[in-house]
Structure formats: structure tokens, C-alpha cells
Amino acid sequence: MTTNANAAGTWQLGDRTVNRLGYGAMRTMSRSDGTPSDRDQVIGVLRRAVELGVNHIDTAAFYFAGPRSANELINTALRPYPEDLVITTKVGPGRDSSGAFHQVTTKDGLRGQVEENLRQLGLDRLEVVNLRIGQGLDRGTDSLRDRFEALAELQQEGLIRHLGISNIGADHLKEAMAVAPVVCVQNQYGLTTRREDDALIELCAEHGVAFVPFFAIGASVPGASPFAPADETGTDVVAEVARAHDATPAQVRLAWTLHRGPNVLAIPGTGDPAHLEENVAAAGLRLTDEDLSRLDTIG
């Protein structure tokens, strides 16, 4: 029996309802060895994800590698978009033609990034835009107020429906909420990664804000490649829990993530059809209290 993404339950991103098991588009661009992805296969994966109930897709205009652009692939695969589909994108980081990253901080620069996402996705309004701060996975301590105010102005103009923030700490969340409503926080987080954000998840829940981990089943070292193999910390415990449920270790890590709270969403990404089916199946995996206690010993 095929599991639907709705098996994980739902959460509200503002006035939009999404299934808590979503999809991250970063891995649409390249294979694990860095070579360009198979275009037709990835388009098929995106369409299959929607068939399996995924209605929350995370992307960005700076998700490109060689001839592949995540936004273009999403546009080609899914437009005209299903009415219930929420595409979340992010601004802040930019990349030049060589692929080198830089930070975009000016009002005009952020507007340009929003307009670029609109153009690439073929939309008149972006459902959710996350302001991503810091360099790489270094969150930094700089104020985000001016940049978030710039996005709030674009929201007032009707170019953005809802706002979120990414790669942030608790003080950033409080600062942003003083400017405009925040519907989601997107941070690196997993069973053995950035567990200091356990408290941030609770803070988000108090304010009805979704917490959206990325790299939840990837490498645990902050700054590691998104294509790094799954984290090996606690491998034996994860494997034992997986065997007990006839599941894979990656599915256990995803299920653990979803068990962190009703406001926690998951956005695993893949360009492989079989891995997509496995990831969505994790939406229906129910860990016991004993499982969770054992897993927390390696966090």
C-alpha cells in the first residue's frame, strides 16, 4: 500500500494548509557525484511527489548547477500548479554566473531576487518567501530588521503572500515578528545536528510558527555538503529502530524529525524515484516512546 504525504498530518503556513511531509528541490540539480541530474527523471520525480500528496515544495532561484535550475524544473513539471500546492522560496544568498555565493542585503537587491523567483516559477505572487541570513550555515548575529522590512513592503505590494526566515536564532525570530507575521523558520536540524534548536522549536510552536528542518538526514557537521552521505552518528541505534519497523535508517530520521512537534515540517529532497517513495512513506512511520527515548540518547 502506497503511503500518502498526508499521513504525517498537516500544518498551517499562514492561511495555507500543507502536509507536514514535503519536498526540498535542492537535489533536483545534481546527482550525488555533482554531475547534472537526469532532467526527465527529475521532472518525473516532481510529478510523482505531487501524486503522493506532497503539497509543500521548497526551492530558491540560487538552486542551479550547470544546465539545471530547480525553479525551471518545477515550472516545467508542475505548471499549471495544483491549487493546494505551496511553493516556498528563499532570498538573501545570491550567486554569480560562476556559481560563487554572495549576500544580497539591499532593498533593490531583494526585490530583484523576488522578481527573479516569480519569473522563473511563472507566478504572479510567491506563496512563502524566507529571508535567509548568515554566510553558508553560519547564522551570525547581525540584525535582520532592514532586510525583513524590505520583504514586508513587497508583501504589502502583493508580490509575496507570507514571510519566513532561515538560518536564524531565537533573537532573530523575535526581531522579525516585531516587523511582520512569520509563518515558518527554516534551519539546519536533525537527530544529531543543531540540537540546540530544540528550544527554538518550542518557541516557534508557542507562536504558531512552522519549524522546517533542512539536511535532516544528511551530514551532521554544520557546513557539510548537502550531498554528503547520511550522518553515521548513532548508526547502530538508528539501524535497530529501523529493523524493528521494517524501515530504512533515513526513514527513521525523518520520522523522528516529524515527532519533534506538530509544527515541525520535513522537506527531504531527492532526484531518485525510489528514494522519493521511501521518503514519503516515512510520513506514516510511527515511532514508540521507547524508540524516541533510545534515539534521543544519541542526539
Residue found by looking up cell 522546517 in the block: 212
Q: What is the DSSP string of 150-205?
A: HHHHHHHHTSEEEEEEES--HHHHHHHHTTS---EEEEE-BTTB-GGGHHHHHHHH
Q: How far apart are CA 264 and CA 283, in angstroms?
A: 12
The one catalytic residue in 23, 63, 81, 189 is 63
Containing 298, the helix (H) or strand (E) segment is none
Active site residue 189: no
CB-CB contact of 94 with 103 (8 Å): yes
User: Helix or strand or coil: residue 20?
Assistant: coil
101: β partners = 95
Q: How far apart are CA 178 and CA 74, in angstroms?
A: 33
Q: How far apart are CA 149 and CA 146, in angstroms?
A: 5
User: Helix or strand or coil: residue 246?
Assistant: coil
CA-wise closest residue to 223 among 69, 101, 112, 125: 101
Containing 206, the helix (H) or strand (E) segment is helix 198-206
Q: How far apart are CA 104 and CA 115, in angstroms?
A: 14
The residues annotated with a catalytic role in the active site are 63
